[in-house]
Amino acid sequence: MGSRQGPPKHQNKFAWVPKAGVKINETEVGGRFRPLSEITGVCYRCREQIAWKRKYGKYKTLTEATKCQKCTKRNVRQAYHKLCPGCAKEQKVCAKCCQSVDQILGRDIYEVEAEQKLLDETIKNARERDRRTLLRAMNKDNKPNKSDEEATRSDSSKVGDVFPSTSLEEYANKSGRVSGIIGHGSVPDHAHDDASGPESDEDDNVGDDEHDLREDSDENEQSQLQK
């Protein structure tokens, strides 16, 4: 072995994506409309191997069911499996490596289909009250957790930092008022009153003096007529 230690000389900056430049047909197996089935009936080691093949584009799907190596019936419907689900469950072995294991990952597809069929029949034949109770219980499991709701609430509480106004209408009115003042070059009314205050006082004083002179002239004319 060499004496060199440490990280690799050339480190990848991004993960390799299989068929990155190839347009995938969404209707084919593995596409968006026909996703791959869940990996079931195998041990943890075999499950990781099949998952690796799927991730890096090495996975090959079955076009038709293959024969089981135990019962010789065409009941194997998952790729890389050697035993059918019935034989693997009976012998308590992995369907891929055929070794005895304590825990088999995933549930058998036949069991899932049987449970779903039984549930549909139960809902169909149940009373209206019981049927609604079952539907509420099923919908309750699909609702988001409280932690997700609190996260959304915390995000919505940050709106006040961006819009300090209580509502968007108030914010729009304030912004429109400010833009109108800047655009027309007008000044507030109180500033205008303060600027024109002394001139208006002088105009009022001049008007009062003229009125007093007119009254004095009228009194002089009346006194001359009486004489």
At 100 the three-state DSSP class reads: strand
Place of tokens 């008022």: 177
Rounded to whole angstroms, the maximal C-alpha distance in the chain is 151
Highest mean pLDDT pick, 79-93, 129-143, 192-206: 79-93
Phi, psi of 174 (to 5 degrees): -65, -45
pTM: 0.47
Q: What residue spans define the domains of the chain?
A: 21-106, 109-141
Neighbours of 109 (CB within 10 A): 15
Calculate ∠ Cα 171-176-182, nearest 5°.
130
Q: What is the pLDDT of residues 128-182, one digit of tens each?
A: 888 888 888 878 876 655 555 555 555 544 444 444 444 556 655 655 554 454 4
Give the residue from 118, 116, 110 showing the smallest Cα distance to 41. 110
DSSP bridge pairs for 66: 76
At 14-72, the pLDDT tens digits run 888 888 888 888 888 888 888 888 888 899 999 999 999 999 889 999 989 999 999 99
